[in-house]
């Protein structure tokens, strides 16, 4: 059974832990959501495992097992583009490994970038976490692939075109597990506030909803910027954990979308 992360971390907090009561997400954020002129065609990515609303703490990414791009021409492995960087954790002492990557866009079309890190050991929840993450960048207005699945083990299929969205638009998606709709998944949603948004209480940090029996969900995004949608599944799998146990695996399918204010 899946328990909301907040309640577990809050309980952990009462027991003396220093973890903030919020959810972590893999950030796969390009320098621009839309390429409209050649000056924007050199994309750079920040790939971090963090709490997007609060802008920290940063958690360590050991390695990215998968990083690539899908276009009409198929998939291209981009792991060779990854550059590791060690950053202060922010909010927590210590440093964590993150990644950057560059990619230059040469042709019009949809570019679906995707990344899967090695499993992350969440000691408090005794869970291994894997976040299969994607973001779609459109170049020069040719729409030719945003609705094509990458084929990730857990994946959110956008029902709304995932770019060119205004603030206040509804984003609709469908949760897929191994290519088939997965009903009733928990969806966690967060704005990338980077610590600049004052949240009046903990429940405002991460929005939570449940997809319907076909895995479909809807959410209206109330602010301009980057939003992440995470479908978190308990897949029943286990992996050997650093504490010597076989730990349950929480597999997430994430999608990042960007909104802009209507002028």
Q: By the 8 A CB rule, do 154 and 254 touch?
A: no
Among candidate residues 72, 135, 163, 76, the one with its CA nearest the CA of residue 109: 72
Nearer to Cu ion, 123 or 142 (CB): 123
Measured distance between the N- and C-terminal CA atoms of the chain, rounded to whole angstroms = 45
Considering only residues 94-123, where is the footprint of Cu ion by CB under 5 A? none
**Candidates 23-31, 140-148, 164-172, 214-222 — which segment interacts with Cu ion by CB under 5 A?**
23-31
Instruction: Output 20 or 30, the one with its CB closest to Cu ion.
Output: 20
Do the strands 154-158 and 186-191 form a parallel or antiparallel pair, or are they unpaired?
A: unpaired
Please identify, using beta-carbon distances, which residue of 55 and 145 lies nearer to Cu ion: 55
Please identify, using beta-carbon distances, which residue of 54 and 110 lies nearer to Cu ion: 54
Q: Does 24 bind Cu ion (CB under 5 A)?
A: yes
DSSP letter for 59, please: B
Q: Examine residue 6 and tell whether it contacts Cu ion (CB under 5 A).
A: no
Site pattern 125..164 for Cu ion (x: CB under 5 A): ----------------------------------------
Closest CA to 30 of 40, 45, 52: 45
CB of 16 to Cu ion, least distance (A): 17
Element (H, E) at 189: strand 186-191
Residues of this chain that bind Cu ion (CB under 5 A): 24
């Amino acid at each position: 059974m899946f328990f909301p992360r907040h309640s577990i971390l809050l309980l952990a907090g009462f027991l003396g832990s220093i973890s903030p009561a919020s959810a972590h997400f893999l950030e796969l954020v390009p320098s621009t959501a839309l390429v409209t002129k050649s000056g924007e065609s050199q994309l750079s990515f920040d790939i971090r495992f963090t709490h997007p609303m609060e802008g920290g703490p940063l958690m360590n990414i050991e390695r990215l097992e998968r990083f690539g791009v899908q276009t009409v021409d198929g998939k291209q492995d981009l792991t060779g583009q990854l550059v590791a960087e060690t950053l202060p954790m922010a909010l927590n002492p210590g440093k964590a490994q993150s990644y950057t990557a560059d990619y230059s866009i040469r042709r019009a079309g949809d570019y679906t970038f995707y990344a899967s890190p090695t499993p992350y050991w969440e000691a408090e929840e005794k869970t291994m976490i894997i976040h299969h993450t994607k973001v779609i960048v459109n170049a020069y207005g040719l729409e030719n692939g945003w609705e094509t699945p990458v084929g990730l083990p857990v994946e959110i299929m956008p029902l709304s075109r995932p770019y060119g969205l205004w603030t206040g638009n509804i984003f609709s998606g469908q949760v897929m597990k191994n290519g088939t709709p997965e009903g009733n998944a928990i969806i966690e949603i967060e704005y990338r506030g980077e610590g600049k948004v004052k949240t009046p209480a903990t429940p405002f940090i991460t929005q939570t909803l449940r997809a319907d029996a076909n895995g479909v969900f809807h959410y209206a995004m109330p602010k301009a910027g980057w939003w992440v949608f995470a479908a978190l599944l308990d897949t029943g799998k286990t992996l050997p954990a650093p504490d010597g146990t076989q730990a349950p695996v929480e597999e997430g399918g994430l999608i990042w979308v960007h909104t802009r204010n209507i002028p």
